[in-house]
Chain A
């Protein structure tokens, strides 16, 4: 269960072992060993912060390429709504969708369309009796993994509904099979056009017992130039798009929450803010709320590390695009809160992996903790990072766990050296 196939990885040849990513990693998953960064796979949440901050561009996200789809007879693109905010002077979403068709996809299914359905069913879900409030959105895969690793007591608050990407994949598959009955499941390749590496990890690993219905993930930045060249901007563009303000609004923070037409919500973005909010929910120190939308990236998905535009510019562009669109282009049959179709839900949540736990035995953990405390009081406490750990506390933990050597603390080493030289000096004086 600890094996998680990550998308964020390191190019060892480019990494110079500076300490920039150490400080930026929100889960302290990075250490510098033998002159370069090493990512602890069990702790990594694929947020992409290290990709954003690396001055040498040594951190990258591993995604698929168009070539990986060659084995599928029928290829479907699932563009994230964020993609719509990446282009200059774009008047119509259909130019993008048409562009996707001309670079080799057989069909396009907008994630924004599925998002509108998820919004509609979420409104119903919130009316259910006996659900744990506040309900936390399940759309951001980084937040989901963060909750599973660090806030296990909040698992019951997670909305058990699949994210729009998965609903879009299911619907796109069904549509393909209806329109082309000759196709078998294995012939259909569903490809998400992604703003972030975490979606790629989610697709590879699934969520708990749930296996993703998406076959490949291509990053917005990888497909961007090919797509921009294929976009024709002609007047007689095909009217493919089927999403409204709500669906496209999901691209930025607050979009999902405002679509609930319920003012008892909170929307927070940026991994530090997300962490703080989760802590407050756990401590019961937030006001009574119905719904909490959390996005690991600043600004929401538009802030994803695999995008091309500044998140705030992308958001402004999306506002322009949304201006004359209907509120929503999809509707669901009226019904009671119990009438949500089963396929909208995932079965069960991943089990809690206690990553921060020192040892499986309580008494051993206590012994280690008291050693850590002792060591910490001896360390300089300036969190310089030269030892390869992000903080003196993390270093103390590493030493006690046996993954670091106390000699790696250059400050302590220096003062020992000075003491030694001093004593030598005394000897020669006498």
Chain B
């Protein structure tokens, strides 16, 4: 196992206007590491979707990005309401987002499907009333 580099972020659930900042910071860091533009794009989209989800549904949480020479792993952890039916939540177009965020263009029901699409591995652990932890990986090799 090669050495890993960690980026940790607190995703603020109270301030919707700051949503997306952690993923853009990660994007900047990955550029400096010389990761290829295509990978950066996949990581930043997947992380952006997850970050927005945490703000909309869970009142924020933490995001930890671990970079090794083999892969980039994103772990998003919240203490929100949890996902009742993961299979249903994974369907394109399914959304439980409230109307006020829909008016901003969110809540199209593409968040989780996009996270899966743009990553090589994705795992959701969720317990209703306890919280959700999503782990995503994008391989570098």
Which residues does A use to contact B, with CB under 8 Å?
150, 152-153, 279, 282-285, 287, 352, 354, 356-360, 362-363, 365-367, 369-370, 373, 397
B residues near A284, Cβ cutoff 8 Å: 45
**CA gap between A115 and B32 in the complex, in Å:** 38
Question: Is the pair A362, B34 in contact by a Cβ cutoff of 8 Å?
Answer: yes
**CA gap between A20 and B70 in the complex, in Å:** 42
Question: Is the pair B34, A360 in contact by a Cβ cutoff of 8 Å?
Answer: yes
Quick one: given A362-B69, A363-B3, are A356 and B31 in contact (CB under 8 Å)?
yes
Sample 30 A-B pairs with CB under 8 A, ordered by A number.
A150-B31, A152-B37, A153-B37, A153-B38, A153-B41, A279-B24, A282-B44, A283-B20, A283-B23, A352-B37, A354-B31, A356-B28, A357-B32, A357-B33, A357-B34, A358-B32, A358-B34, A362-B35, A363-B2, A363-B3, A363-B69, A365-B34, A366-B5, A366-B33, A366-B67, A366-B69, A367-B3, A369-B32, A370-B5, A373-B7
Which 6 A-B pairs rank lowest in CB-CB distance, beginning with the nearest?
A153-B37, A357-B34, A365-B33, A152-B37, A366-B5, A356-B31
Number of interface residues of B (CB under 8 A): 24
B11: Cβ under 8 A from any A Cβ = no
Quick one: given A279-B24, A363-B3, are A369 and B37 in contact (CB under 8 Å)?
no
16 new A-B contacts, CB < 8 A, other than A356-B31, A358-B33, A359-B34, are: A153-B37, A153-B38, A283-B20, A283-B48, A284-B45, A354-B31, A357-B33, A358-B32, A362-B34, A362-B35, A362-B69, A363-B2, A365-B32, A369-B29, A369-B32, A369-B33
Distance from A373 Cβ to chain B, minimum over Cβ atoms (Å): 8
B residues near A152, Cβ cutoff 8 Å: 37
A residues near B38, Cβ cutoff 8 Å: 153
Question: Is the pair A283, B44 in contact by a Cβ cutoff of 8 Å?
Answer: yes
**CA gap between A360 and B67 in the complex, in Å:** 16
**CA gap between A369 and B67 in the complex, in Å:** 11
**CA gap between A373 and B28 in the complex, in Å:** 13
B residues near A357, Cβ cutoff 8 Å: 31-34
B54: Cβ under 8 A from any A Cβ = no
Residue in chain B with minimal CB distance to A154: B37
**CA gap between A92 and B139 in the complex, in Å:** 62
CB interface residues, B 27-68, toward A, < 8 Å? 28-29, 31-35, 37-38, 40-41, 44-45, 48, 67
Distance from B64 Cβ to chain A, minimum over Cβ atoms (Å): 13
**CA gap between A153 and B39 in the complex, in Å:** 10
Question: Is the pair B34, A283 in contact by a Cβ cutoff of 8 Å?
Answer: no
**CA gap between A352 and B37 in the complex, in Å:** 10
CB interface residues, B 1-25, toward A, < 8 Å? 2-3, 5, 7, 20, 23-24
B residues near A153, Cβ cutoff 8 Å: 37-38, 40-41
Distance from A415 Cβ to chain B, minimum over Cβ atoms (Å): 26
A residues near B31, Cβ cutoff 8 Å: 150, 354, 356-357
**CA gap between A366 and B5 in the complex, in Å:** 6
Which of B20, B33, B69: most chain A CB closer than 10 A? B33
**CA gap between A283 and B46 in the complex, in Å:** 9
**CA gap between A153 and B38 in the complex, in Å:** 7
Distance from A204 Cβ to chain B, minimum over Cβ atoms (Å): 27
Question: Is the pair A282, B3 in contact by a Cβ cutoff of 8 Å?
Answer: no
**CA gap between A284 and B48 in the complex, in Å:** 10
**CA gap between A356 and B48 in the complex, in Å:** 22
B residues near A358, Cβ cutoff 8 Å: 32-34
**CA gap between A390 and B32 in the complex, in Å:** 17
CB interface residues, B 72-97, toward A, < 8 Å? none
Quick one: given A279-B24, A369-B5, A370-B5, are A362 and B33 in contact (CB under 8 Å)?
yes
Which of B28, B34, B41, B69: most chain A CB closer than 10 A? B34
B residues near A354, Cβ cutoff 8 Å: 31, 34
Residue in chain B with minimal CB distance to A287: B105
A residues near B45, Cβ cutoff 8 Å: 283-284
